[in-house]
Amino acid sequence: MDVRVVDHPLAKSRLSTMRDARTNSAAFRAALQELTLMLIYEATREAELAEEPIHTPVAKTTGYRIANPPLLVPVLRAGLGMADQAHRLIPEAQMGFVGLARDEETLLPTPYLESLPADLTGRPVLVLDPMLATGGSMVHTIELLVERGATDVTAICTLAAPEGVQRLEEAGLPVRVVTASIDERLNESGYIVPGLGDAGDREYGAV
Ligand SMILES: O=P(O)(O)OC[C@H]1O[C@H](OP(=O)(O)OP(=O)(O)O)[C@H](O)[C@@H]1O
Ligand SMILES: O=c1cc[nH]c(=O)[nH]1
Ligand SMILES: [Mg+2]
């Protein structure tokens, strides 16, 4: 499985803001948006381009556009904080939604929303979720996409645990991962260490 760690100094600085327990909700959301910009930028580096002739005020030249815009899929709640920024970078993208809440006892994802196009054959998909912890939520999401015919999925995660990366790899799903860090481990409660806490709670408040 292809795993790309974006360790650009600006990415490290935004991730540190997110990790810092003193960062309030508004600043956390702002840093997440800025980091999302960098992760999407890297994730789309090899996106196929279509050429078209354009006229500048001076001359005729070749213009480019994304040939096959991806479907963006934020995983609610926490992935919602990445959605607008990703859409700003790829305005022609369509967006689908998956809602999952992890059971804090079993650590299994409980699905509560699924709004996706029926046919994803031939369409790249970018899944947006700040956290890849046990990997259960991401595996569930990608299985929904694969059922619909997706074969080219990129998981955009600000942070990943080695356990989650391994789980995705073992699942044998057609996915690559773009993240700003692979942290040390999960703790006994399934939180990433050192991590940043509960991403959804830090963005929107505890439920
Ligand atoms: O890899 P996993 O062990 O499945 O954990 C990762 C999931 O946990 C968080 O969501 P959470 O369930 O806390 O929901 P929330 O976004 O509503 O807070 C996070 O946004 C992922 O979706
Ligand atoms: O550390 C973690 C693990 C799962 N979900 C989070 O929001 N944070
Ligand atoms: Mg949460």
Residues in contact with ligand 1 by the CB-under-6-Å rule are 75, 77-78, 100-102, 107, 109, 129-138, 164, 190, 198-200
Distance of CA 190 to the CA centre of its chain: 19
132 is in an annotated binding site: yes
Confidence of residue 184 (pLDDT cuts 50, 70, 90): very high
Q: What is the pLDDT of residue 193?
A: 98
183 is in an annotated binding site: no
197 is in an annotated binding site: yes
Distance CA 32, CA 86 (A): 11
pLDDT tens by residue, 23-79: 999 999 999 999 999 999 999 999 999 999 999 999 999 999 999 999 999 999 999
- Return the residue whose CA atom lies nearest to atom 5 of ligand 1: 133
Q: What is the pTM of this model?
A: 0.98
Q: What is the pLDDT of residue 113?
A: 98
Distance CA 123, CA 68 (A): 7
With contact defined as beta carbons under 8 Å apart, do 108 and 136 qualify?
A: yes
Question: What number is the ipTM of this complex?
Answer: 0.98
pLDDT tens by residue, 161-178: 999 999 999 999 999 999
Site to probe by mutation for ligand 2, drawn from 105, 131, 184, 204 as the one with most ligand atoms within 8 Å of Cβ, is: 131
